[in-house]
């Protein structure tokens, strides 16, 4: 009897299949420290317990994307160990804050399947849910992954492509209980800009860049217990290169966006996202954002800002060509909601 896990292939998935992922993970101050060491993350709400308490929270929560990575990482052995690429995200909601001492676990439901025309791979759609030790939903999201087939001649499942919302509304967002920006300290946060200072259509060049290092990327990907072969095994791709984990690019771009969006304190909704082109060691990542929408919430002095975050090796504002295809230098196109003082 084989004891090792070769991972699931496309033909192993079935619509409605629910997968409970191993292994539960208790997070602590170490995850926060390592996250801030690996990325230039400086948002005050996730950096300072005192700042968080002044905003109505019991202490500084784990960075939103760090929580996402932990939940995502658990799914890899069951969903994307044999992935060719992680293609996109939708309908992501951060429903509860994660604090030191919380234990996170994940489960995924298969909601879509579509074999590719090459018959060597197919796209698997899953809805993943992360919960804490109290059974509270921390976050849920949909993602779709291109997965290799074990046997190209294996019969294809019936094609099911789920209907997904183009974007979450403000009413869909979960505002943390007790959150208030009524006594928000702009000096400590790092910038004076509040919600009313941003205009729909405004493009913000975040100026700085970071050159991706192989060792740092592999350390980060291991931190999240992401075991996808394509990130570690140089023989897995025909070009002999290790692919940078897409979440690494997301966190790098989000951290770079502090310069210009320091007061976009908490990510609460993920409308959509695409890893437009692969990222490799040696690439220098820069970021720019476009304001897509702004709105008020029910929490005191708390507004919501919808942003397009683009990670690129090129210039700010450049995204697609005349045919509507992503430019080769664009690495990430992410659409998300964040909370910001009014």
pLDDT range class, residue 325, cuts 50, 70, 90? very high
Residue 289's beta-bridge partner residues?
A: 204, 309
- Cα separation, 41 vs 105, in Å, equals 25
pLDDT range class, residue 257, cuts 50, 70, 90? very high
Rounded (10°) CA dihedral 70, 74, 79, 82: 90
pLDDT digits over 269-317, tens only? 999 999 999 999 999 999 999 999 999 999 999 999 999 999 999 999 9
Which percentage of the chain shows pLDDT scores above 70?
A: 100
pLDDT digits over 110-134, tens only? 999 999 999 999 999 999 999 999 9
pLDDT the model gives residue 27: 98
pLDDT the model gives residue 166: 92
pLDDT digits over 88-97, tens only? 999 999 999 9
pLDDT digits over 50-63, tens only? 999 999 999 999 99
Whether residue 83 is predicted with pLDDT greater than 90 in this model: the reply is no
pLDDT the model gives residue 108: 98
CA angle 7, 10, 13 (to 5 degrees): 85
Whether residue 81 is predicted with pLDDT greater than 90 in this model: the reply is no
pLDDT digits over 156-196, tens only? 899 999 999 999 999 999 999 999 999 999 999 999 999 99
pLDDT the model gives residue 1: 81
Whether residue 200 is predicted with pLDDT greater than 90 in this model: the reply is yes
Q: Where are the domains of the chain?
A: 10-341
Tokens of 31: 């995850």
pLDDT digits over 220-252, tens only? 999 999 998 889 999 988 899 999 999 999 999
- Cα separation, 122 vs 124, in Å, equals 7
Mean pLDDT, the chain, integer: 96
- Cα separation, 55 vs 49, in Å, equals 10
Q: pTM higher than 0.85, yes or no?
A: yes
The CA-to-CA distance between both ends of the chain, in Å, stands at: 61
pLDDT the model gives residue 90: 97
Residue with tokens 């019969």: 155
Query: Fold for domain 10-341?
Result: Thiol Ester Dehydrase; Chain A (3.10.129)
């Amino acid at each position: 009897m084989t004891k090792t896990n070769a991972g699931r292939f496309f033909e192993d998935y079935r619509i409605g299949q629910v997968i409970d992922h191993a292994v539960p993970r208790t997070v602590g101050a170490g995850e926060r420290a390592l996250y801030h060491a690996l990325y230039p993350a400086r948002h005050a709400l996730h950096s300072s317990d005192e700042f968080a308490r002044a905003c109505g929270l019991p202490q500084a929560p784990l960075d939103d994307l760090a929580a996402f990575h932990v939940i995502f990482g658990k799914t890899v052995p069951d969903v994307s160990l044999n992935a060719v690429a992680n293609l996109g995200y939708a309908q992501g909601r951060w429903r509860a804050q994660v604090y030191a001492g919380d234990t996170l676990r994940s489960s995924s439901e298969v909601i879509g399947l579509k074999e590719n025309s090459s018959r060597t791979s197919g796209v698997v759609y899953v809805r993943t849910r992360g919960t804490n030790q109290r059974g509270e939903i921390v976050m849920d999201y949909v993602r779709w992954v291109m997965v290799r087939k074990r046997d190209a001649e294996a019969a294809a499942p019936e094609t099911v492509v789920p209907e997904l919302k183009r974007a979450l509304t403000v009413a869909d967002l979960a505002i943390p209980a007790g959150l208030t920006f009524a006594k928000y300290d702009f000096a400590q946060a790092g910038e004076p800009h509040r919600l009313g200072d941003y205009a729909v259509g405004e493009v913000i060049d975040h100026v700085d860049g970071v050159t991706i290092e192989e060792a740092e990327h592999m350390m980060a990907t291991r931190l999240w217990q992401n075991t996808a072969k394509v990130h570690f095994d140089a023989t897995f791709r025909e070009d002999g290169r290790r692919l940078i984990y897409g979440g690494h690019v997301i966190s790098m771009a989000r951290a770079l966006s502090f310069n210009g969006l320091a007061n976009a304190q908490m990510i609460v909704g993920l409308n959509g996202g695409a890893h437009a082109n692969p990222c490799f060691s040696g690439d220098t990542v820069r970021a720019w954002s476009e304001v897509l929408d702004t709105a008020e919430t029910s929490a005191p002095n708390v507004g919501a800002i919808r942003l397009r975050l683009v990670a690129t090796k090129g210039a700010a504002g450049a995204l697609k060509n005349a045919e509507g295809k992503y430019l080769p230098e664009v690495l990430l196109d992410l659409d998300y909601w964040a909370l910001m003082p009014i």
